[in-house]
Amino acid sequence: MIDMVTCGTVIHALGLGGLTLPALNLYASMSSRRLEPCITTLNEIVTACERGSRWRQALHLGTSASTRGLQADVVTRGSLACSYERGSFWLH
């Protein structure tokens, strides 16, 4: 049985391995599995996007967190800032 902790752990491992797309797919599939992501899972996917230089996806996930009832925390904001920096977001 796949639960929220398992999804978060797999998203973390995929992010560490640079496999951002599978991590994003798993995160997106959580609703169909009747699993609502928590702030820890959000932070894992934002960090995976940051590591994979996918700052646009990180920004979207960070800003849409409130639609899932999540409040971005210091970890979320730190990961978003790193993602923007990696994507040279500040230069555009």
Contact of 46 with 76, CB cutoff 8 Å: yes
Element (H, E) at 20: helix 20-29
Considering the entire predicted model, what is its pTM?
A: 0.83
pLDDT, tens digit only, all 92 positions of the chain: 788 899 999 999 999 999 999 999 999 999 888 998 888 999 999 999 988 888 888 888 888 888 878 888 898 888 888 877 776 655 55
| DSSP codes of every residue in 9-50 | HHHHHHHHTT-HHHHHHHHHHTTTTT----HHHHHHHHHHHH
Residue 71: per-residue pLDDT: 85
